[in-house]
Chains A and B, each alone.
Chain A
Amino acid sequence: MTAVVVGASSGLGRALAGELARRGQPLLLVASDARDIEAIGADLRIRHDAVVRCLALDLAREADPGARMTAALEALPPVTSVLLAVGLSRGDDDFGLDASRIGELLAINLHAPLAIVHALLPRLRETRGVVVLFSSIAAVRGRGRNVVYAAAKRGIESMYESLRHRHAGAELRVQLYRLGFLATNLTHGMRLPMPAVEPVDVARVVADRLQRGSARWYLPRRFALVAAIVRLLPWGLFRRMRA
């Protein structure tokens, strides 16, 4: 039963690919650069004797990513899970972006997940599969930074609700993770208010829960408290937060 990992060339996506391959799951790996995704595919085949197919897809420019993925899945066992570990943020996403940059952020963070889920939904319903979505602390409360990124992640949360509203748990499971800081190149060198979590540790938890039903989780769990505090902060205090 095949798992699709979108954004598999780095960070959480790469860790998810490794964890699922270790568990013997056939994989379709999707990322923008063939050099990275082919290297990861080769590594997982060699280390774990895994069935891996790789698809290089530029989600910022691909009009119909779901169609390409549907075609790539033909040679693989039926798809049972789609993990959308895709995301792009920019340091200058503070109302300083031009329209093309806004479009790029929305394409990767929102349009691509929506299009992929739409395209794969019939197959996932056939197998009572699972859609795994990843949101962010940025989506908890809008701020003057990560403007487009946060809006896109809110969109992901809305998609989670829509999927659950439309499909009963017996035909489709939907899981949403609100992630804390991950130790990836995006947080490299940043002063963070709390320790970053290793992507491999998150990947292990996500893989363990794949067979569970629909739910929304914070990872790490202590992040739920942080999110609650951010949400409940009085406006005057919240406005002063810069970190």
Chain B
Amino acid sequence: MRGLAVAQAELTSFDRQFHARCALQRPDRYRLLDALPVDAPRIARGGGVSYVGASFGDGVVSQSLDAFDRLLAFDAAAGRLTVEAGARIGDLQRFLLGRGWYLPVTPGHPRATVGGCIAADVHGKNPARDGTFRAWVDALVVHRPGEEPRVADRTHDADLFAATFAGFGLTGTISSATLRLARPPHALVLRRVPVASLAEAARVLREAANAPVLYGWHDGGAAHFGRGVVNIGLASSEDDEGAPRVPPASADLPAQVAPLPFPLWNRAGLGAANRWLDWRWRRAGQAPMALAEALFPLNRARLYFAGFGPAGMAEAQWLVPHPRFEAFAAGLAELVTRTRPRIALIASKLFAGVADGFSFDGSGIALAIQVASPGSPGERAFLEALAELAVAHDGRPNLIKDSTLDAGMARRAVSGFDAARARRARHDPHRLHGSELARRLAL
């Protein structure tokens, strides 16, 4: 592919479970973006921070959208921003906060891009209040091989618009989007509510559904399983002068965190970390919280991710409906006691939406469970049993986070999987878009 800025590159998923040597294109102009042979399989690549292999795969040209990060239109009065898909969320928040606006739904990694947030339909700091990313997108432009770019919104080309959210880049390359913005809270105060179990956390989360920031942290060790704290970030009218300013781009978590040569998160390390977190945070109280801290939580997690070592980690994320959650939590506690997996972190969040396609949405409580050395037999067995337990309680997995799922489990766990797959096929009948994720889950 001479002259197309394509070279071979080693690409790795953020959880380090997938590596591939594949063709990486770095187009810096629209002409190059459209220049691949029409029948060449491709996939867009944003920040390269997807936990799973969503932006590369064997036999697929990964098209980096790094250069397509330009602001195309900004309506400062109405709060609308049209931006190219390669723009990084952290950069946008820095730009917008300086002008009295922000994006209310963003993932934790500041290097995620607008295109990536659409393709994954990410959720933010409180999905029950703000929905997922799709709720804040008015329109998008999709490039497909051999076709003119298509503008899609809720009334025009609505099926393509809907399918592109949580479409994992398989409906075409998103080149730009028009985003709706919100006014940021003047200041935040973080209220901490200690909880003894996941069931108690669920009750606290439901009572605080309208908070701008709402999530729980929980001990994943067998001895104190589920114990933790629910963090409720509330808007405050008090001045926030003591809070740190929005950090510069240089403080952003790198796309790839170099692992420590040895895993820090073995049983002893996890036990010590949980004890420290328990002592540090699991106490009732409230304190001012910088919005920057809420928006970029992963910037402080460099050592945490490095600590997984070369074996990496896996994140299982399941959304369980409210009526089934307590039974699911009890089953999970029993499973952890029995199998004693190396769980590094459990986070809980409240959801109040409606699932569409492959999206991670619905009404219930979501648990994100990060497991060290997921390739080890014990951890693998735990993750498989977790998936069975979740499915038995009508749980829905987050496909863009969980690299341990296979096609059979995805099909069983995602209601409407076949319909979503058929919709993807309508928009890419010749399967010109592909990835490791699409191959593994037979999307």
Residues of A at under 8 Å CB distance from B? 9-11, 14, 33, 35-36, 39-40, 42-43, 46-47, 90-92, 184-186, 188-190
Contacts and interface: CB of A to CB of B under 8 A. Distances in A.
A188 B72 contact: no
Contact of B73 (A10, A36, A42, A92): A42
A11 B66 CA distance: 12
Top 4 closest A-B pairs, CB basis? A189-B7, A43-B70, A185-B5, A10-B28
Given A39-B72, A42-B70, A42-B73, A10 B29 contact: yes
Q: Decide if the interface of chain B is mainly helix, strand, loop or mixed.
A: mixed
B2 interface: yes
A9 B73 CA distance: 18
8 contacts: A11-B28, A35-B29, A39-B84, A42-B72, A47-B95, A186-B5, A188-B5, A189-B24
Interface of B: 2-3, 5-9, 24, 26-32, 67, 70-74, 84, 95
Contacts of B73: 42, 46
Contacts of B5: 185-186, 188
B48 to A, nearest CB: 15
Contacts of B26: 185, 188
Q: Decide if the interface of chain A is mainly helix, strand, loop or mixed.
A: loop
A9 to B, nearest CB: 6
Nearest to A47: B71
A37 to B, nearest CB: 10
Given A47-B95, A91-B2, A189-B8, A9 B70 contact: no
A34 to B, nearest CB: 9
Nearest to B2: A91
Contact of A36 (B6, B29, B95): B29
A33 to B, nearest CB: 6
A47 B73 CA distance: 10
A125 B26 CA distance: 40
B178 to A, nearest CB: 13
Given A10-B67, A188-B26, A189-B24, 12 more contacts: A33-B31, A35-B30, A36-B29, A39-B70, A39-B72, A42-B70, A43-B71, A46-B71, A92-B2, A184-B28, A185-B26, A188-B5
A104 B152 CA distance: 38
Given A91-B3, A188-B5, A189-B7, A9 B74 contact: no
Nearest to B28: A10
B236 to A, nearest CB: 30
Contact of A90 (B3, B27, B32, B74): B3
A116 B258 CA distance: 48
A144 to B, nearest CB: 18
Nearest to A43: B70
